[in-house]
Amino acid sequence: MARKRTLGFKPTSFLTTTRPGRTSRVYQNKEPIYSQGDRADGAFYVEGGMVKLMAVSKCGKKAVIAILKRGDFFGEACLGRGALRVSTAISLGPSTITRLQKRLLVRMIRYEPTFTVLFIASLISRIEQIKEDLEDRFFNFSETRLARVLLRLERGVEKSTDQPLTAQVSQAALAEMVGTTRARVSHFMNGFRMKGVVRYGNHVGLYIDRARLIAILEG
C-alpha cells in the first residue's frame, strides 16, 4: 500500500531541519564538497553561499560546468546505480550545504510531490544554464562571456546584505569560468573597473554594479 503524502509539507523547511539521512555543514572558500571520481552516494542542496561545479579532462584541461546559488540542488548522479561523480564541487566563499542520503532522496521523490517539483525545477534550471553557456562559447566574445559570468556571480550573493563577493574570486578562476586566459580576463577586468562596473582589491571582495553590467550586455 502506497504511503500517503505528508499534508502541509514544506520543502525548504524539510531541507533545513535536522532528521535522519540529512546533514548540514559549512564549507570554506575553495573547499571541495566532493571530487570527480568519488562514489556518488548522496545529493546536496545549497542553503547559503555559492558552489562551483568543474570537470577535468584526461589531459588535465579544466572546465567550469555551473555556478550554483542558494536554493539549487546538485550531485543528482547518486540516483544512478554504481554512479561516480563526473565533476568536482567547490565552495565559492563560505557556503552552508545540506547533504541528503540517496535513500532519503529516493523516498522524498517517491512520496512528496511538492519536493519532487522543487528538485526537478532546480535540475531544469541548471540544464538551461549549461545550454546558455554553450551558446556563449560559440557565439559571443570572451568579454561578453566574462560579463555574463560576473552577472551570475552577482545574483548568487545573498540579497539581504550589501556585501562583496566574499569568495574573493581570482582572475584565474574567472578565466576557467569564461574559457579564456588569465591575461585576457585581467585586460577585460581593468576595462570594467575603468567603466565603474567592478571594484576589487587584495583585502576586499569583488563589488559588481549590476545596472552598468546589464547595460554593457545590452550593447
Query: Going by C-beta distance under 8 Å and a sequence separation of 6 or more, which residues neighbour residue 80?
Result: 40
CB 67 within 8 A of CB 153: yes
User: 71-75, 118-122, 174-178, 183-187 — which is least confidently predicted?
Assistant: 174-178
Q: Using CA atoms, how far apart are residues 91 and 105, in angstroms rounded to an integer?
A: 22
CB 217 within 8 A of CB 162: no
- So what's the pLDDT on residue 13? 65
- So what's the pLDDT on residue 211? 86
pLDDT at 158 over 70: no
Domains and CATH numbers, the chain: 11-136 (2.60.120.10), 140-217 (1.10.10.10)
Q: What is the sign of the dihedral through the CA atoms of 74, 134, 30 and 60?
A: positive
Query: Going by C-beta distance under 8 Å and a sequence separation of 6 or more, which residues neighbour residue 31?
Result: 90, 91
Statement: the pTM of the whole predicted model exceeds 0.75 = no
Q: Using CA atoms, how far apart are residues 178 and 147, in angstroms rounded to an integer?
A: 9
- So what's the pLDDT on residue 2? 47
Read out DSSP for 178-200? HTS-HHHHHHHHHHHHHTTSEE-
* pLDDT-derived band at 87, boundaries 50, 70, 90: very high
How confident is the model over 94-107, as pLDDT tens digits?
889 999 999 999 99
**Interval 109-137 mean pLDDT:** 85
- How many other CB atoms sit within 10 Å of the CB of residue 36? 15
The x, y and z cell numbers of residue 54, run together, are 568543474
Q: What is the sign of the dihedral through the CA atoms of 200, 202, 204 and 206?
A: positive
**Interval 162-179 mean pLDDT:** 69
**Interval 79-97 mean pLDDT:** 88
The x, y and z cell numbers of residue 163, run together, are 556585501
End-to-end CA distance of the chain: 59
- So what's the pLDDT on residue 154? 77
pLDDT at 11 over 70: no
- So what's the pLDDT on residue 160? 34
